[in-house]
A and B are shown apart, each in its own frame.
Chain A
Amino acid sequence: MSDATDPPRLLDPAAGTPELGRYMREASELAPTDADAARLEAKLGPIFDGPAGAGDPGGDGPMPAGAESPLGAAGQGGILASSTGWTIGMATLVVVAAVATWAIGREDPASEGTAEEPRHHEPARDQPKASDDSISSQARSAEAETPPGPALRQVGSRERTPRPRRRRDTSGVTGAPATTPSAGVPNELSLIRAAQDALSRDPGRALTLTEEHASLHPAGELAQEREVIAIDALARLGRWQAAQRRAARLERSYPGSPHLRRVHRVFERMTEAQDRAQGGPP
């Protein structure tokens, strides 16, 4: 089908490009096999059998915004899990931290559940859950080029089993002297802010600050922000492999994190820089 203004297609013999035409013809004849089609339909059958419009718990965007992506962490569930950007993410985390601090400050046992509840990022349905050990192991190998950071907390399911109540340690340093709740969060926040501020003009300094944060607040509320800044800093420093490995670890630990969008932008930038360096397309 063509409009009158459309130019002849390359596969049109009349176009006089037999070689290009052959490529186009072969490309246009590619198709999944019957077995492929049957396999895909079997996988999607349960979704098709559900009510249309409810096949995915996502929002209104063109991509499913839920975490039930068949791509798992690599898919849209990971990439577009939320339209929340960096700023909103930061603000949310600060609010969560403030609520936690307030709850602990009150020493109200009824508030402990709220204060203790970590930020949950729903893992993708098909995303295998790595154990803490495996993450630590990956962290060890991944950080060959970088000073080792703490293992990220693995996300869990929202369906939690009851846990014994305990006081939240906002310092995040096991066995360390307890910091006052009101002092712990601002320190953490100021470090992350300083690292973020340093990122564009002095990525080395930003990386150092993230390492400082990691040592002071290994399981802090802003651990994800720290990792994103560290990844960005590594990329800016040209330590791309280290950045890639650290990003993979972050994505594995927080498959639905809104911060992954920023990480992806970092890698887009990195890819473009590499292409330019190699004389590729702009």
Chain B
Amino acid sequence: MTHAEKLSGSEVLVRGRPTTRQVFRENLGYVWRALRHLGVPESDLDDVVQEVFIVVHRKLPTWEGRSSIRTWLYGISIRTASVYRRKAYRRRERPTEDLPEASHHPQQAHSGETRHGMRKLDEALRALDEDKRTVFVLYEIEQMTMREVAEVVECPLPTAFSRLYAARRQIAESLGLPLPSGRSA
């Protein structure tokens, strides 16, 4: 059980609106994982996570609860990761940091196989453009509904589907794996 999970639950909501600390404890895992899969290398993950929660702290009083807090957090995380990635020259100055060396896995030790698999997936995700990657990560890894995904990325639902299918094709191709027929387009 993760730190966040231990501290989540009924204690989180106070009079309908959580505090930033409660949002942090409840959602750190989501934010951390989303940023990780959206191209933030592990070496910079702490800083970018902090950046997200600073924004959360500032914007929380304006959150109206029209979307779930998770959807709202993903919106902030995506924009933060996007800003981070735009600094292309920074990545190019430190190319060895493009691929995170290790990831934390709560249930199992970092087997070489898992680490290798995640590195391959990282490479495949990095080959996607930003729009496709975001849709893919939110749907396939974060398991949001497509409607939520479209809301987070602020695009029409058909566009989100189109990006998902294109991303699937590209990911499968990058990993050298087949997609089941009828599901790739």
Contact = CB atoms under 8 A, between A and B. Distances in A.
25 contacts: A6-B145, A7-B164, A7-B183, A9-B139, A17-B180, A20-B177, A23-B120, A31-B104, A31-B105, A33-B2, A37-B2, A37-B25, A38-B3, A48-B19, A52-B20, A52-B61, A53-B58, A55-B58, A56-B58, A63-B79, A71-B48, A74-B47, A248-B93, A281-B128, A282-B129
A47 B54 contact: yes
B152 interface: no
A70 interface: yes
Contacts of A43: 46, 50
Interface in B1-56: 2-4, 19-21, 24-25, 28-29, 32-33, 36-37, 44, 46-51, 53-55
Contacts of B141: 24, 27-28
A32 B47 contact: no
B79 to A, nearest CB: 5
A137 B155 CA distance: 48
A176 interface: no
A276 interface: no
B33 A64 contact: no
Contacts of A282: 129
A264 B146 contact: no
A40 B55 contact: no
B106 interface: yes
Contacts of B55: 56, 62-64
A30 B145 contact: no
A19 interface: yes
Interface string B109-136: 0000010011011000001110000000
Contacts of B120: 23
Given A34-B3, A40-B24, A281-B127, 11 more contacts: A1-B145, A6-B146, A10-B168, A33-B106, A40-B50, A45-B21, A53-B58, A53-B59, A62-B75, A64-B54, A70-B47
Interface of A: 1-3, 5-11, 15-17, 19-20, 22-24, 26-34, 36-41, 43-45, 47-48, 50, 52-56, 58, 62-64, 68-72, 74-76, 79-80, 243-244, 247-248, 264, 267-268, 270-271, 280-282
B60 interface: yes
A30 B54 contact: no
B51 to A, nearest CB: 6
A17 B180 CA distance: 7
Nearest to A43: B50
A69 B143 CA distance: 30
A74 B183 CA distance: 40
A11 B140 contact: yes
B146 A54 contact: no
Contacts of A243: 89
